[in-house]
Amino acid sequence: MLRSLLLSFALLFVLTTSQAQQNVFLTITHKMGNSNFAFNQVAQNNLMQNFKIIRLDYYISGIIIIHDGGQEISVPSKYILAHADANIVESLGNFNVTSVEGIKFSIGVDASLNNSDPSLQPVGSPLYYQIPSMHWGWNSGYFFSALEGNAGANLTTNFEMHSLGNANYFQQTQMAAGVNTGGNNIFINLNADYIQAVKNINVASGPVDHGVNATDLTVLQNFRDFVFIPSSAATGLSNNSAEELNVSIYPNPTSEKLFINFNDNNSTADRLVIVDLLGNIVFENGLNIRNEINVADLAKGVYILQFYNRNSNLSNRRITIQ
């Protein structure tokens, strides 16, 4: 009996100590089929209709991390406002997990906040007022997604699908094994193919549906069923750009200065943002062909260099400050 109890306690100890605090990140790479996403890029849906997207914004919330053999951890009060022209590298928090097997989430805003007053949210919050607007009104709540574009023979027919409604807050599950990049960081990597967002929608007819459970509802169902797939590439740690940046970054690791030199004079990258692994911006500046950056004031650790052209995220690279 005593031996059995000791074995039970030993097993419990192993199970409880085998897990460790890990920083878990969600990355989403925006795609149009096999190509990286860009606004005004002409594509074709499954109805063989040409279209292009000129606006695509949507909320992600209700996040649950699946880990260590099917256990689940909720990520409360986490709201991500996704813009299709900026790949997502979002910290979900620090959790006591060993391995991550997948993620559950919904497109939109949960009912507890969907019909609340956005002016009560902190300025800068994804749920605060946005330009262009992501809020339909107190009764109807937030746009879960706002998809606009052009279609038709000459791509001159406008279409708009603004999706909303508590009844349309669908949960989905993506079994995407977390990638441990070293240290205590695990990345859940997804691709989002926005051709699938207009699957079975006659965009050539120019639908304009705002919360009427027509094509706007089909968009949310497509987001639930077809848009997202697991990816093996870590958005936060690799080049995810439609523009393959020919750039030299050295030394890496570094402790005082970082040199960023573009080997291609035609590069369109004009701004650099450095963020820590919690998503906090620690440095931001314009870019030239040759750049020397003082990083001596940054704390030791891993950071992500984000290269931008205006508001479009071109590429992300990892550096270590030691």
Average pLDDT over residues 227-238: 68
CATH topology of domain 247-321: Immunoglobulin-like (2.60.40)
Q: Which pLDDT score is estimated for 241?
A: 41
Dihedral over alpha carbons 127, 31, 249, 183 (to 10 degrees): 70
* Residue 250 and residue 262 in contact, taking contact as beta carbons nearer than 8 Å: no
Q: Which pLDDT score is estimated for 265?
A: 72
| C-alpha span between 164 and 213 (Å, rounded) | 9
| C-alpha span between 279 and 301 (Å, rounded) | 13
Average pLDDT over residues 25-48: 94
Integer angstrom CA distances of residue 83 from 108, 126, 313: 13, 11, 10
Q: Residue 232 — pLDDT band, cuts 50, 70, 90?
A: low
User: Has residue 211 got a pLDDT over 70?
Assistant: yes
Secondary structure (DSSP) of 80-97? EEEETTS-EEEEEEEEEE
**Exposed, middle or buried, 55 (CB in 10 Å: 0-12/13-18/19+)?**
middle
* Residue 211 and residue 115 in contact, taking contact as beta carbons nearer than 8 Å: no
Q: Residue 194 — pLDDT band, cuts 50, 70, 90?
A: very high
List the domain boundaries for the chain.
19-236, 247-321
User: Has residue 269 got a pLDDT over 90?
Assistant: no
User: Has residue 51 got a pLDDT over 70?
Assistant: yes
Q: Which pLDDT score is estimated for 114?
A: 96
Q: Peptide bond before 207: cis, by omega within 30 degrees of 0?
A: no
* Residue 187 and residue 236 in contact, taking contact as beta carbons nearer than 8 Å: yes
pLDDT tens-digit profile of 234-245? Answer: 444 444 443 457
pLDDT tens-digit profile of 197-208? Answer: 999 999 999 999
pTM, whole model, 2 decimals?
0.72
Q: Which pLDDT score is estimated for 240?
A: 41
Q: Residue 174 — pLDDT band, cuts 50, 70, 90?
A: very high
pLDDT tens-digit profile of 80-130? Answer: 999 998 888 889 999 999 999 999 999 999 999 999 999 999 998 999 999
